Amino acid sequence: MDRRHQLIIVRGAGDIASGTILKLCRCGYPVLALETGYPTAIRRQVAFSEAVYEGESQVEGTVCVRISRYEEAESVWGEGFIPLLVDPDCHVLKKVRPWALVDAILAKKNLGTSRSMADKTIALGPGFTAGEDVDLVIETQRGHNLGRIIGSGQASADTGTPGLIAGYGKERVIHSPATGILLGKSRIGDHVEQGQTIAVIVTGQGEVPVKASLTGLVRGLIKEGIPVKKGLKIADIDPRDTEFENCFTVSDKARCIAGAVLEGLLYLEARQEL
């Protein structure tokens, strides 16, 4: 089926959003990603948001290119790539009405998405009410209901506890111990020992070390040089030393959510045709 004229705008291009963007692109949809000027994804090797800083990023062989205005998107699609626009407030909607819009910011609250933005609207995670803010909401909490399509009501509230990997949950996620500028001492994919300094936060009073919470692989680390606030999630340690390739591929959670988004769009399309 020809999907070339069914433009989908995705708000957000972090690792979960990128799983959705990648799946929609592979299924033949033209996708335009929207991001902020300073994205803070930690799983940067699988986040198209890196194009904001580098001009181009790549996830599992698919290329994303930063553009400066919507008119450049057509040529990027023509190359088989994904265009990304820094446009957190969706000003692009003044120029084009997409076939569908997906809010994949995962801010745990609604940052301005409404059903008026497109004929089909989907949001990921808590902060949205299906049938009011958007047409459908996708459950993002790990467990039995991960990826469930919600047609009325809301997703589960944020627990603040990361999903378990090899028995570790909150222990594997590292938050900034101070406010300042992050300088990395490790790279994504590196093996680190518990207590090892993986980064430092440069503050007005000196450097504050960021210690590895576990022994394992650096699965995610926020981009060097980014201003961070105390308490911001800045790194993720995978305790499975044998899972090196997982640091560079879309996660099971992101793939599950992406499949639910695709199913949701097809469901809305079928319902519209009745």
Cα(274)–Cα(112) distance, integer angstroms: 30
CA 216 to chain centre: 23
Residue 113's alpha-carbon distances to 134, 157, 166, in angstroms, are 8, 18, 36
Tokens 């090892």 belong to 196
How far is it, in rounded angstroms, from Cα 93 to Cα 103? 14
The helix (run of H) or strand (run of E) holding residue 259 is helix 252-273
Domains and their CATH numbers in the chain: 8-158+252-273 (3.40.50), 170-239 (2.40.50.100)
The one-letter amino acid code at 235 reads A
How much is the pTM? 0.94
The secondary structure of residue 251, as a DSSP letter, is -
For residue 33, give both structure tokens. 């990603």
Cβ atoms < 10 Å from Cβ of 269:
14
> Going by C-beta distance under 8 Å and a sequence separation of 6 or more, which residues neighbour residue 26?
62
User: How far, in Å, CA of 147 to CA of 174, rounded?
Assistant: 26
> What averages of pLDDT result for each successive group of 10 residues across the chain (274 residues)?
90 98 97 96 96 97 98 97 98 97 97 97 98 98 95 90 71 94 95 96 95 94 94 93 89 97 97 78
For position 93, what pLDDT does the model report? Answer: 98
Residues found in the chain:
274
Q: Which residues contact 190 (CB under 8 A, 6 or more apart)?
A: 198, 217, 218
